[in-house]
Amino acid sequence: MKKRTFEWICALLAVTMLCGNFALADAQPDDAIGGILAGMSLRDKLAQMMFFCPRTWKEDPSSDTPAENIRVLNEYTRQYIADHRFGGILLYGENCGDAEQVLRLVADMQAANQEGGGLPMLMAVDQEGGTVSRLGFGTSGTGNMPITATGDPENARAMARVFGEELALLGLNTDFAPVVDINDNPANPVIGVRSFGDDAAVVSEYGCAFMEGLQDTRTIVSLKHFPGHGNTDVDSHTGLPLVDRSHDELMANELVPFKAAIDAGADMVMTAHIQYPQLEKQTYKSLTSGEKIYIPATMSRVILTDILRGELGFDGVIVSDALEMKAISDNYATEDVLAMTINAGVNMLILPAVRDMDMMNQIDTMLTRAVEMAEAGVIDRDLIDDSVRRILALKQRYGVLDHTDFAVTDEAVAVAAEGCGSAEHRQVAWDIACEALTLLKNENDAFPLAVKPGEKTLLLFTASSRAGAAELSMKLLTEMGALPEGATIEGMTIEKDTAEACLAAAKTADHVLMISRAWSSDCLDPATEDGFPVGIVNQVIDDLHAAGKTAVVISCQLPYDAACYPGADAILLTYGSSAMKTAPTAESGEGSAWVPDLPAGICAAFGAVEPTGQLPVNLPKLDEAYHLTDEVLYARGAGANDAAN
């Protein structure tokens, strides 16, 4: 991989202008933390342990008026932040419009908190890259799995630096990344390409490099999701997963990347809302089902204090995953959630997201009830003090406590707008996406397409939200001079009401490039609603062969759908294709984030990029019912060198 340079002087200057007297060295002596703690009320201490999540606003929840995304503070929300003095705020996609808006919103939130006498806050976002990129602008880059496919851990560091630089320009000091879950269950519905792979050593190496890249930009990191979300077949956003592995099995696999990153200096660790019955045997009666369930890692002192703190030696801040997720909210009473998480050793709680006035009031009630339980001894006050010390020490280490000037200058706005999605950052993402492209199969010289002047290539998408990649790809190919004169690209999406039209268009096109997107195991089965397009793609493959043509498929998310198309002559993997309904409308990336994976794959299909990536996971065969099996179809490491020519 060629060496990349970063405009450090420009980035640091921008951060300095934005952050006033931001300090890279420790801001205050340790005894200052004790002084701050001594001056805090119990309510302030508990609020310091909470991430507030204001997503949307609706004053009257019973009205038919749609909720508005919170991108500018109204007076009620501003006063709420001032009154509560939270330890941090977590932004979501609803909060993020463009660089100037996010910069001003973050500064306004910090200023409101400061006006109420609060300490500077952790301003956080989930910016993993790829499918989980909350900023709808700038450089979303690639996710973790394509980075591993490049075979170069330095790409993890480089991509993370891009994210950290852009977050710093916006005043965001905390990134809930990297994901160090091992995706050793191909049926996992929530991790997938968010993982660096299915091998513990590889995930450790790439996870540490990514973490250190963020830290190079003075961004606080959080490993997730402890003790591992990779071996589940339930999404904790919608259900309560269970991993039935022993302590020794977890120590030999899931916990290896966490241990490596902790030893390398991890700042925070995020918990998983997952049952581990071989570790934590305490049970609870589910509010919804009435059945006996195990308490999840988020509430387990065995897992968080005995194992994470004691055995793995983690001395930083433990943060819960979002408490509004169904794994928690459907099963556990709010009071028990508060008491059990804090007593288990969680230092910061990600509160349920605020969407209207009622939720604001519920958050206020939660904080009041937590104070009452602490006063009654239900919540351990020593653990509260320990948590606040850890939070303040983290803020001190990154200079957050010294960041007190939140005025936004025109110059800071200009630097943020130019830096987020800059040409240099986009080039980093593009280079990594190209290096990740993995040619699993190439028979009958099918890849790349042999497009001649004036010919039409049909792009058949199995997901409409990715159709913008066709427009961007044609633009890129034209700029590269890789599109023959008069050649055109047309995109269509395979849906139930367009299937016949897609089949007809494929028969008249000179070339057909089929782009398959699987986001869960249901997408592999043509008998399911999500998997319906698989049957159409296979029919197009048969039609092309009947006409004496070759068939090329691009898998643009989970690589496991490559097993769905045994008749394809060529199969290319991109491992990512974040939503891009329309192409970016300007060089600055306005309108959409810069999402390079799928456009790189399409350009490769036209011969403009050479695929050199290698498969970072074992890819299993499917049985006759399109279910995943234990038999390996393509082994980890497969790639261009293995594809038949």
Rounded to an integer, what distance in angstroms lies between the CA atom of residue 287 and that of residue 342? Answer: 20
Contacts of residue 322, defined as CB under 8 A and 6 or more positions apart, other chains included, come to: 53, 350, 352, 353
The yes-or-no answer on residue 321 being catalytic is yes
Distance, in Å, from the CA atom of 29 to the CA atom of 402, rounded to the nearest integer, reads: 12
- pLDDT value for 232: 86
Judge whether 237 counts as a catalytic residue.
Answer: yes
| Of residues 184, 188, 186, 199, the one with CA closest to residue 148 | 199
The pLDDT mean for the chain works out to: 91
For residues 40 and 434, the answer to whether their CB atoms sit within 8 Å is no
Q: Encoding tokens for residue 348?
A: 């910061």
Q: How confident is the model at residue 640 (pLDDT cuts 50, 70, 90)?
A: low
**CATH number at 51-417:** 3.20.20.300
Comparing CA positions, the residue from 523, 533, 527 lying closest to residue 502 is 533
What's the confidence (pLDDT) of residue 236?
A: 80
**Nearest alpha carbon to residue 139 among 416, 404, 395:** 416
Catalytic residue among 126, 181, 321, 597: 321
pLDDT digits (tens, 9 = 90+) for 323-361: 999 999 999 999 999 999 999 999 999 999 999 999 999
Point out the catalytic residue in the list 152, 237, 330, 510.
237
pTM of the model: 0.93
Question: Residue 437: pLDDT band by 50, 70, 90 thresholds?
Answer: very high
In whole angstroms, how large is the CA radius of gyration of the chain?
25
Token pair, residue 121, equals 């806050």
Residue type, 381: R
pLDDT of residue 19 exceeding 60, the answer is: no
> CA-to-CA distance for 40 and 19, rounded, in angstroms?
25
Cβ neighbors of 542 (< 8 A, separation 6 or more) are: 567
Can you give 412-469 as a three-state secondary structure string? HHHHHHHHCCCHHHHHHHHHHHHHHCEEEEECCCCCCCCCCCCCEEEEEECCHHHCHH
Instruction: List the helix and strand counts (H, then E) for the chain.
Output: 21, 22
Rounded mean pLDDT, 161-174: 98
CATH superfamily of 437-634: Glycoside hydrolase family 3 C-terminal domain (3.40.50.1700)
Q: How far is CA 123 from the centre of its chain?
A: 16
Residue-wise pLDDT tens digits, 209-263 = 999 999 999 999 999 999 999 988 887 888 899 999 999 999 999 999 999 999 9
**Ranges of each domain in the chain:** 51-417, 437-634
